[in-house]
Structure 1
Amino acid sequence: MSAIYDYLRAVAIVVAFIAAKQSKKAAWSFDLILTAWFGMGCFLFPQTVVSKVFESPSDPAVGYGVQTLGACFLGVACFQYLCLNSRDDTVIGSIALSKALGFVPLLATSLYTYVTYQKKVDHAAFCFLLTIYTGIWLINVMLLVETRPSIGRREQRGPKMKETMASNYLVQSIGVLLISNIFTSWYAPCFLRKEDKKSFIVSQIVFVGLLTLASVYYCNLRKENTKAVLLQIGHSLVGGILPAVGYFLLTREDRVPTNSYFTRSKSS
């Protein structure tokens, strides 16, 4: 059975390469599907992912880490979906650059964890993770190389988690994805269309919302008291303050009337 999975993984990489070579739309769509599918799996079925990859299904902290990882992927997928019909090359270019650069350390930390802790991880499952990450990275590298899109100018305390191989890897992966997202945040003010700017802000709000749900689920598993639950949820919601303010400002700009005509003077 493992040989079949090896072939499927190889085929997935080939499909990713071919999709990226066909057209910008094909590469963008395949990347969106891959990102959303993996994020949904991590967020909705964290214990399944944990049991398959790390073989420690009883640890709720690791499950929370997997859900946070899924929320990161879903936040990016949400932004990609909302900008699917965008005609601004800066939008596609910024996301492609953020993933092409950001997934390099993600692949590096994945390989390091796989090589260092071979006896503690499921080889087939971990190779599947590497296939997903490699496919997403390859698509975005090809987008940058083939299309050469124009791109514009220019520590928060989390839940206490026992230091294990799984927790270290998940924290590193989440950190890498958040760093990757910084590139899109940097270029977002340069997007030509206000709708694309608003789409990015909405994707950040979606990420914060999913992270809050994961926090509530984690606190429920740990049977935390009310104070701990409120503190955990508060930490999760802090990241949504600036996106919420940004969305409010963009919405207010939409309501401001602008006159596109001139009135004649009475004296004339």
Structure 2
Amino acid sequence: MSVIYDYLRAALVIVAFIAGKQNKKSAWSFDLLLTAWFGMGCYLFPKIVVAKIFGTTFNAALNLGVQNVGASFLSVAAFNYMCLKSRDETVIGSIALSKAMGFLPLLVSTLYTFIKNEKSVTHSGFCLLLTIFSAVWLMNVIILMETRPVIGRREQKGVVSIVFRVLFLVLLLQGLGGLAFPSSIASFHNIKSTVPMTFLIQSVAAVLISKIFILWYAPCFIKGEDRRNVFVSLLLFVVLFQLAILNYCYQKKEGAMATVQHVAPTLLMMALSSVGCYLLSREDPLYTNTHYTRSKSN
């Protein structure tokens, strides 16, 4: 019966996708709700997700991996929600571009894991996963093709733009590292490199890759509020990520040094995002909204 429900959920996602692509507002709502629903499910109910997708019993490491995936999706959903009222084409376009380009590695990783390990994973669970990821990816491709937003026309002056560039490099390196060397990432955290764990690490890395497109265009955002939302969404990811790790360390009775080793990869992201928020709070809104280092006509 559980298998049937998975296929029914996949069918409902397809129906919602068809209804959502009728206009821009419903497309954004579909994207936001689906991303938030999936992220919330992974973060709050990791045991259920592990059982449905991989058919395995409780495992603290797998629970941590699923919660990290949930944290990354909730961060994406939070940024989308905070920017719902934005009228800046660069903000809207960068969000759609980040998912249209960044979710491709997620789809490839999911397909590769399913094809290579078809006999050891749950077909209905991966069917639901592929449906969700494909729907989010395709919806944003459609948004880009139909709206054709003009992005990257202007770039703000100041230290905040430098912070965005450094964050871009940090997430790019972490994302590429997770996609290319998931076993090394698992080994660094003293976690056994299994097929499910490799897939979960690559999934988080793919979402980080999607964020680099927003970070690349973030210095072009006209309003300080939209730029602040980028930092806030990254801070949300780090906080949720670290809460999941602390819970894992508590369950495994890890020592202080091991706990620091687990949280270390996100500390730089947290520090840079905090600095960015602080610098934005000190900027003159009139100055930051009218001075740019470069511009070009539409």
CA–CA distance in structure 2, aligned partners of residues 26 and 208 of structure 1: 30
SS at match of 1:85: coil
- Corresponding residue for residue 189 of structure 1: 219
TM-score, normalization by structure 1: 0.89
> For the Cα contact (< 8 Å) 1:212–1:237, is it kept in 2?
no
1:257 Cα deviation (Å)?
10
- Listed one character per residue, the Cα deviations across residues 16-39 of structure 1 (whole Å, up to 9, x for unaligned) are 13312x222211111111111101
Identify if the C-alpha distance between structure 1 residues 235 and 112 changes in structure 2 by more than 3 Å, giving closer, same or farther: closer
The aligned runs of 1:91-170 (5 Å cut-off) are 91-152=91-152, 158-170=188-200
Question: Which one of 235, 239, 243 corresponds to residue 269 of structure 2?
Answer: 239
CA–CA distance in structure 1, aligned partners of residues 6 and 210 of structure 2: 29
- Corresponding residue for residue 76 of structure 1: 76
1:4 Cα deviation (Å)?
6.4
CA–CA distance in structure 1, aligned partners of residues 209 and 198 of structure 2: 16
Amino acid in structure 2 at the alignment position of 1:9? A
CA–CA distance in structure 2, aligned partners of residues 60 and 108 of structure 1: 26
1:254 Cα deviation (Å)?
4.8
1:11 Cα deviation (Å)?
4.1
1:110 Cα deviation (Å)?
0.7
> For the Cα contact (< 8 Å) 1:40–1:70, is it kept in 2?
yes
CA–CA distance in structure 2, aligned partners of residues 105 and 235 of structure 1: 21
- Listed one character per residue, the Cα deviations across residues 242-262 of structure 1 (whole Å, up to 9, x for unaligned) are 11000000001158999xxxx
- Corresponding residue for residue 280 of structure 2: 250
- Corresponding residue for residue 27 of structure 1: 27
Q: Any stretches of 5+ residues in structure 1 without a counterpart? A: 259-268
Moved more, 247-256 or 58-67: 247-256
> For the Cα contact (< 8 Å) 1:215–1:236, is it kept in 2?
no
> For the Cα contact (< 8 Å) 2:189–2:261, is it kept in 1?
no
Amino acid in structure 1 at the alignment position of 2:122? D
- Corresponding residue for residue 49 of structure 1: 49
CA–CA distance in structure 2, aligned partners of residues 4 and 199 of structure 1: 36
- Corresponding residue for residue 18 of structure 1: 19
- Corresponding residue for residue 261 of structure 1: none
1:205 Cα deviation (Å)?
0.7
Amino acid in structure 2 at the alignment position of 1:139? M
CA–CA distance in structure 1, aligned partners of residues 144 and 287 of structure 2: 39
Q: Which ranges of 4 or more aligned residues in structure 1 deviate by more than 6 Å?
A: 255-258
Amino acid in structure 1 at the alignment position of 2:18? F
Amino acid in structure 2 at the alignment position of 1:33? L
CA–CA distance in structure 2, aligned partners of residues 35 and 167 of structure 1: 21
1:8 Cα deviation (Å)?
4.5
CA–CA distance in structure 2, aligned partners of residues 9 and 233 of structure 1: 35
> For the Cα contact (< 8 Å) 1:13–1:134, is it kept in 2?
no
CA–CA distance in structure 2, aligned partners of residues 7 and 212 of structure 1: 34
Q: Any stretches of 5+ residues in structure 2 without a counterpart? A: 156-172, 175-184, 289-298
CA–CA distance in structure 2, aligned partners of residues 166 and 51 of structure 1: 11
Moved more, 149-158 or 246-255: 149-158
